[in-house]
Structure 1
Amino acid sequence: MLLSHGGEPLRTAGPAARWTVEQVLALAPDEASRRTGSKLGSAGPWSAAGCDGSGAVWGLCGGSGSKPYQTVVDTTGPAYTCSCPSRKFPCKHALGLLLVWASGESALPAGEVPDWAGEWLTGRRTRAAEKRGEKAGAAAGGTPASGPADPEAVRRRAERRAERITGGAQELEQRLGDLLRGGLAAADQPGHGLWEETAARMVDAQAPGLASRVRELGAVPASGPGWPVRLLEECALLHLLDSAWLRIDRLPESLAATVRTRVGLTAPAEGPSVRDHWLVLAQYDAPDGKLVTRRIWLYGRDSGRMAFLLSFGAAGRSPALALPVGVTIDAEVTPCPGAGRLRAELGRQFGVPSSAGSPPTGGTVAAAIGAYGDALRNDPWLDSWPVTLREVIPVPSGDGWQLVDASGDAALPLTPAALSRPGLWKLVALSGGSPVTVFGACGHRGFDPFTAWSTDADADGAGPAATSETVPLI
């Protein structure tokens, strides 16, 4: 018998909603896995394959060895296991199995979970339930299984780290002053080692947020014409962050929490959890030194809230948390401190994910710019703000592209990063000159599109558009 996320026997009324091919391929850790997984996406290589109503998918895939690879996927995580030696996550066999499952019931029918798959599924769900129980106990003031933490020791560690960050912020202030006194032109000299050396010093000071912003400064001189103005602006924002940290005891608590987050001090999720039907709006990875950072954006259908989840993986490996774009999960999400309270932690999930879900209603270009401006009041270091644009059309503009309101009243240029990605052409092809709904980030560099939906507006144009296709763009 399989267990639910609450540790109770799992009861389901029917089979779990099957994902689309695009949702499966979005889980691939790289392009090579996407290609090799697609080759296994037919019933031919598989035997003893099936699925059940709890979200379990399993199968045996013949390989070069004498024994077939045993592959199991728990789509409620999602989570994967395979007896192959691949270090990629998910491996090509898990991707291929999910592609077979996505193709329909005739290719992968419902059935009873075999013992070799059920053992892993039961163990995984039991461990997940225990982990959530420990977190809930800690949040309620209980004692975690690993033993009580010494409050005095925790306080001393926090004080020591705060002292290191303060020393780093003071040193950074001196280096910024030296740069401005010597002239910004020095930053463009070949072999100028200010940025990497300074970033390394911020890492030593246990302020990874400051280190990241310093590295970004190093890229500004190579960003094209007008770079001195941009460098001066970024230096001013960094000076503002330093000053805020050095005077953090004078700030309102909400702003102080934002400053702590910006310098690199993480805070656990707090406050009441929000249970909702969360639509997965976007998922994308970014290299961060020796780590890979994955960001997943969620939208609560009932609450109207936006949230994002962060997970990390060692270099060369994908983070463990993966949620296909377009899937809707019934789950609890707990927000973390900071302006906007967008970052959150995923808690208990109920039932199995559903492939049904409509995007946020969205708004105009002017409304998106206004939302970013409002958010800047609470977080001056905010590069962008998540928004959904309704009924916009991608249009060429000089050397770039822009999203224009269907009414033609306003437009947003796409960011340089968006112009260099294949997702731009997916967006153009999806639109075909007609309005689309687009979710992405609106900021001072423009709009960065993450996901798009083709739409058919209501006859009177008053209600939300009916979506016909979801296309990840990143």
Structure 2
Amino acid sequence: MNAMGVRWTAEQVLALAPDDASRGAGSRLGTPGPWSGTGRAGGAVWGLCKGSGGAPYRTVVDTTGPAYACTCPSRKFPCKHALGLLLLQTANTTAAGETAVPDWAEQWLARRRGDDGATPLGEGTGAAASAPADPEAARRRAERRAARITTGARELEQRLADLLRGGLATAEQAGYGLWEETAARMVDAQAPGLAGRVRELGSIPGSGPGWPVRLLEECALTHLLDRAWLTADRLPDPFAATVRTRVGLHPAVEGPPVRDHWLVLAQYDSADARLTTRRIWLHGAASRRTALVLSFGAGGRAPALALPVGAVLDGELTPHPGSGGLRAEPGEQFVPVAGPASPPPGGPVDDALGAYGRALRDDPWLDSWPVTLRQVVPSRAEYGWQLADADGREALPLTPAAQSRPGLWRLVALSGGGPLTVFGECGHRGFTPLAAWSPEAPDETVPLV
């Protein structure tokens, strides 16, 4: 596939897949056999894919998003047909000129690019524009929600006090039910951040050796968040914004967007029974800013946004307030461009630990912080795998989750016993490697998740 003169690799296309099953199915569709009516123009590709029914599936991809549409019933984004189409275009090195866009693809593309009268592919007509928001009504709703969160925070404080008064051993005897009941009340109070922390507390008792220590640590952090919310009017504005974010209030994204060439460093999903969360890390070449874009999928759906790891994309990100300014909201389009794909600036292990420590000063509830380690070597220690400085003076243990992933062996093989550059998340549980670069290929981003 070629957009704006930049060809994506098959590896970058497959990195968009929401899961291994989609990756395999998309690979099987990346050949000319099932396709007809394929074409490309203006950063879009389309085609008709033969399915099990009589009519072929209509598939179109806007590579400047990227965004996808298909008439198949799949709930995954991108679906296997979109992946297959992109792989087909990637392999089609002989394609030269652009072709006319068929009506069914043009309608969806026009809808995406601002023509509200167009009909989206596989959908009905667009919804009518919403009425202007009433600022006074919005203020009253915000006040009512803040009052409910305050009530929930006070109730949670009482729950923590009762736990400590009765002794931590009672937490194991009480079981998970009481914690889930408390979490449900935090949801009723419209404080999903507090509800998440309560569920975490409920999962700790009986979780293995040392659980009382871990429970006491998490109780202290939850208590700190409660007290910070109850005294938020006396906090500095940046820290108050972080507190609001942590309890589950996400303020409107304001401020100027940052336009840059963004290197896609990593993309991975985490899921629970309610929601799938996709975390996408990017780094700006000019701004030297590392940003986190979150995308969500509810009810078993894969998140809609997917970006190819290792690609350089021209686009805008608008930072969210609070939490170190890491999270950002993407603009409408990200266009692949030619440009350096070198890793973010980094340093030795000491620098990474210092960066995490400074971030904790601004956000005590931070589990990890993005860092780049330079000249480190993966090695096995008494407690498991670690990344050590090339001189062997300092080392970071890998998190238990990282040690159980196939990406660990990819990292070890890439190193071959020598130093390399690794991007990942540094936190109190250790380091989670997400991408790596070898000295032999310093512009080739190797995904580790």
TM-score of the superposition, structure 2-length normalised? 0.92
Is the partner of 2:113 in helix, strand or coil? helix
Matched, 1:86 2:50: no
CA distance in 2, matches of 1:22, 1:228: 44
Give the % identical residues.
69
Cα deviation for residue 291 of structure 1 reads: 1.9
Conserved? CA contact 1:327–1:356, under 8 Å: no
Which residue is 2:442 aligned to? 467
Which residue is 1:126 aligned to? 114
Is the partner of 1:449 in helix, strand or coil? strand
Is the partner of 2:418 in helix, strand or coil? coil
Of 27, 44, 50, 2:39 maps to 50
CA distance in 2, matches of 1:216, 1:14: 44
Conserved? CA contact 2:34–2:49, under 8 Å: yes
CA distance in 2, matches of 1:30, 1:322: 12
Of 20, 23, 39, 2:28 maps to 39
CA distance in 1, matches of 2:83, 2:137: 46
CA distance in 2, matches of 1:286, 1:220: 19
Write the letter of the residue equivalent to 1:37: G
Cα deviation for residue 315 of structure 1 reads: 2.2
CA distance in 1, matches of 2:308, 2:399: 24
CA distance in 1, matches of 2:262, 2:340: 11
Cα deviation for residue 334 of structure 1 reads: 1.1
Aligned ranges for residues 97-246 of structure 1 at < 5 Å? Answer: 97-106=85-94, 109-115=96-102, 116-126=104-114, 146-189=130-173, 191-246=175-230
Cα deviation for residue 180 of structure 1 reads: 0.7
Cα deviation for residue 48 of structure 1 reads: 2.8
Cα deviation for residue 362 of structure 1 reads: 1.8
Of 79, 84, 101, 1:96 maps to 84
Cα deviation for residue 470 of structure 1 reads: 2.0
CA distance in 2, matches of 1:155, 1:145: 22
Cα deviation for residue 114 of structure 1 reads: 3.0
Which residue is 2:16 aligned to? 27
Change (3 A) 1:253 1:288: farther
Q: Structure 1 stretch 207-216 or stretch 305-314: which is displaced more?
A: 305-314
Change (3 A) 1:399 1:126: same
Cα deviation for residue 87 of structure 1 reads: 2.5
Write the letter of the residue equivalent to 2:158: Q
Q: Unaligned regions of 5+ residues in structure 1, if any?
A: 1-12, 131-143, 457-465
- Structure 1 vs Structure 2 CA RMSD: 2.3
Note the alpha carbon deviations across 1:159-215, whole angstroms, 9 max, x for none: 111111111110101110111111111222373423211111111111100111111
Change (3 A) 1:193 1:348: closer
Matched, 1:308 2:283: no
CA distance in 1, matches of 2:186, 2:168: 21
Q: Structure 1 stretch 40-49 or stretch 212-221: which is displaced more?
A: 40-49
Conserved? CA contact 1:455–1:468, under 8 Å: no
CA distance in 2, matches of 1:350, 1:260: 30
Which residue is 2:64 aligned to? 76
Aligned ranges for residues 369-380 of structure 1 at < 5 Å? Answer: 369-380=353-364
Is the partner of 2:209 in helix, strand or coil? coil
Q: Structure 1 stretch 364-373 or stretch 382-391: which is displaced more?
A: 382-391
CA distance in 2, matches of 1:349, 1:336: 18
Change (3 A) 1:223 1:430: farther
Is the partner of 1:189 in helix, strand or coil? helix
Note the alpha carbon deviations across 1:210-229, whole angstroms, 9 max, x for none: 11111111222244211111
Note the alpha carbon deviations across 1:289-339, whole angstroms, 9 max, x for none: 422122211111001011111221122211111111111111121111104
Pairs aligned (count): 438
Which residue is 1:64 aligned to? 52
Cα deviation for residue 51 of structure 1 reads: 2.7
Matched, 1:293 2:244: no
CA distance in 1, matches of 2:338, 2:22: 25
CA distance in 1, matches of 2:107, 2:353: 51
Is the partner of 2:277 in helix, strand or coil? strand
Q: Structure 1 stretch 432-441 or stretch 365-374: which is displaced more?
A: 432-441
Which residue is 1:419 aligned to? 403
CA distance in 2, matches of 1:346, 1:146: 22
Write the letter of the residue equivalent to 1:30: D
CA distance in 1, matches of 2:157, 2:335: 52
CA distance in 2, matches of 1:14, 1:69: 23
Is the partner of 1:467 in helix, strand or coil? strand
Cα deviation for residue 45 of structure 1 reads: 2.5
CA distance in 1, matches of 2:435, 2:97: 31
Conserved? CA contact 1:27–1:324, under 8 Å: yes
Conserved? CA contact 2:149–2:191, under 8 Å: yes
Change (3 A) 1:127 1:199: farther
Cα deviation for residue 237 of structure 1 reads: 0.8
Change (3 A) 1:420 1:470: same
Conserved? CA contact 1:15–1:110, under 8 Å: no
Which residue is 2:124 aligned to? none
Conserved? CA contact 1:261–1:267, under 8 Å: yes
Conserved? CA contact 1:327–1:355, under 8 Å: no
Note the alpha carbon deviations across 1:416-442, whole angstroms, 9 max, x for none: 121222222222222222222211110
Conserved? CA contact 2:343–2:443, under 8 Å: no
Of 256, 278, 297, 1:272 maps to 256
Write the letter of the residue equivalent to 1:211: A
Write the letter of the residue equivalent to 1:258: T
Write the letter of the residue equivalent to 1:208: P
TM-score of the superposition, structure 1-length normalised? 0.87
Conserved? CA contact 2:370–2:426, under 8 Å: yes
